[in-house]
């Protein structure tokens, strides 16, 4: 029996939204494994908009849900409509949108808060004991979602790992091709583009994460 997986996106584009390669790899692997997927995103303005060609900030306002719909080919819902009971697992790809739109980690660091609708959705999966996968920078939200003592990885970036530790997480260093699992909490994390030098390297860890999340959903 195929599993239903919710994927929360944070916009469209590495510098101000969801990392497109990570998102597509996640969706591709879920489809290859026969999972039924529904994408979600918060219906809120982006922190800012970045010109991905020049790297400059643009004088423009964009909506996280509208931008995320680009990756989901329009098949996306407001995260307020994410009903945990309808799904077996949850995955959040990375990209700066996680730190800028799903939370304010980019500006507040260890003192950050998670966007309320996203936090409520994530906590519902945790409370139900359903598996969660956090990719790239998304584990920055782990301590806010799971509480102190949660085990996770963002790879080996010392400054980011320090912020996670300040928030109460237990950070484990990890190679790009590997995953870190908190067995007690059914949380799976992988560094992806925190370390990846190519799309193939990013995929090596993401595929393992998706496979493990689906295994946990079957248990």
Q: Is 136 a catalytic residue?
A: yes
Helix H, strand E, coil C: the string for the chain is CCCEEEEECCCCCCCCCCCHHHHHHHHHHHHHCCCEEEEEECCCECCCEECCCCCCEECCCCEHHHHHHHHCCCCEEEHHHCCHHHCCEEEECCCHHHHHCCECHHHHHHHCCECHHHHHHHHHHHHCCCCEEEECCHHHHHHHHHCCCCEECCCCCHHHHHHHHHHCCEECCCCCCCCEEECCCCEEEECHHHCCCCHHHHHHHHHHHHHHHHHHHHC
Structure tokens at 199: 């799309």
Sign of the CA dihedral with 116 first, then 122, 125, and 126 last? negative
Which has the closest alpha carbon to 46: 5, 72, 12, 82?
12
- Which one of 12, 39, 122, 136 is the catalytic residue? 136
Write out the catalytic residue numbers: 136
């Amino acid at each position: 029996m195929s599993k239903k997986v919710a994927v929360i996106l944070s916009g469209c584009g590495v510098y101000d939204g969801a990392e497109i390669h990570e998102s597509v790899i996640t969706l591709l692997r879920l489809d290859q494994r026969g999972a039924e997927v529904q994408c979600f995103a918060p219906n809120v303005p982006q922190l800012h908009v970045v010109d991905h060609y020049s790297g400059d900030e643009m004088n423009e306002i964009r909506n996280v849900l509208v931008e995320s719909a680009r990756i989901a080919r329009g098949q996306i819902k407001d995260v307020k409509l994410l009903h945990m009971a309808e799904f077996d697992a949850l995955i959040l790809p990375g990209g700066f949108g996680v730190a800028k739109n799903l939370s304010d980690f980019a500006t507040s660091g260890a003192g950050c808060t998670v966007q309320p609708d996203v936090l409520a959705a994530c906590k519902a999966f945790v409370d139900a004991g359903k598996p969660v996968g956090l990719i790239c920078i998304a584990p920055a939200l782990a301590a806010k979602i799971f509480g102190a003592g949660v085990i996770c990885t963002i790879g080996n970036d010392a400054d980011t790992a320090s912020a996670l530790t300040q928030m109460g997480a237990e950070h484990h260093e990890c190679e790009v091709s590997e995953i870190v699992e908190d067995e007690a909490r059914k949380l799976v994390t992988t560094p992806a583009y925190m370390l990846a030098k190519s799309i193939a390297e990013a995929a090596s860890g993401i595929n393992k994460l998706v496979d493990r999340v689906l295994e946990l959903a079957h248990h």
